[in-house]
Amino acid sequence: MDFSYLITSIFAESGGKTLDKLNFRRNKIHPRQSLLLAFMVMVLSVAGYTVVTKQPFPELPLPAVLLLVGIALFSFGGNVFDEISLQKDDLSLREPLVDFEPIATGLIAYLLFPDERKPAILIAFILGAFIVRWGVHHRKLRAYQKKGMTYLWIAVVLYAIVPVFYKEALEYMPPAYIALFRIISIFILILLFFRPKRNKKLTSSMLKYGIPAGVIYAIGAVVSLYAIQSYGLVMTMLFLMLGPALRYLAGQFILHEKVRRGEVLSSLMLAVVVAIAAFVK
């Protein structure tokens, strides 16, 4: 099996989050500015991709429209709470909780899509949930970090539901258009309800981090949908459990954050669980 879509999706999510965090740390960019800039770049990137690849515009029956509305609303809420949480904690602190997102989605998908069920993967998700619980339980939080983690919990729950909408929407339209509709919808909602204050302008240094982050996020948005289409939602979520290990590395060697030994150990344990579940028949 070719895992290129899965690997690209994992690297894209980790790369975008790292650039976002660097922008917060070095330029004090406001979450509203960062979010608006990211989605503006994503809209241009994905729209350009659909034009260059000459993908035909899909028909949109009522079920497809309802799915797109669900994708837009849940994604918007998740992105808002996720972006706010980035100001309140470091990347290594986030990871034990972010680890739970693909696990939660995988368990939901396992229940909803019988054709994707595989006992080894179910065991992997259950073990993964215990590993994540262990990682969160052993970390002492300061007051401002607890606030950030609350925002992140809300984001994780919302994010976990979105891929289920993706799976159903792929029956009606190609991945690029699902990503484009989602990104445009969130961009409009940001302009309406989460617009940045005008008293702080974007600097060239902010753009230096924000534009590449937006492009990387756009790549991840499209590729993750191709992964779901090619491998199924359950298998895709299984492999996305590997993402935090990359973000730990970024947190330690790029952002110079303190990464606890227990967090590294939990990521290694998840990697072992994923490897065994993926190749056991």
- pLDDT tens-digit series, residues 125-144: 998 888 777 765 555 555 55
pLDDT category at 268 given cuts 50, 70, 90 is: confident
Q: Which residue in this structure is represented by tokens 């990137």?
A: 45
Q: What is the mean pLDDT of the chain?
A: 84
The pLDDT tens digits of the residues spanning 3-40 come to 789 889 888 988 888 898 889 888 988 888 888 999 99
pLDDT digits (tens, 9 = 90+) for 52-99: 999 888 888 999 999 999 999 998 888 888 877 766 555 556 666 777
Q: How far apart are CA 247 and CA 3, in angstroms?
A: 20
The pLDDT of 139-151, averaged and rounded, is 61
- The pLDDT-based confidence of 150 (bands split at 50, 70, 90) is confident
CB 15 within 8 A of CB 201: no
Q: pTM of the full predicted structure?
A: 0.83
pLDDT at 230: 92
Q: Residue 263: is its pLDDT beyond 70?
A: no
* C-alpha distances in Å from residue 140, one per residue of 64, 91, 136, 137: 44, 15, 9, 8
**Per-residue pLDDT tens for 166-190?**
999 999 999 999 999 999 998 998 8
The whole-number pLDDT of residue 48 equals 96
Sign of the alpha-carbon dihedral angle for 257, 105, 128, 97: positive
Identify the pLDDT of residue 76: 87
pLDDT of residue 220: 94
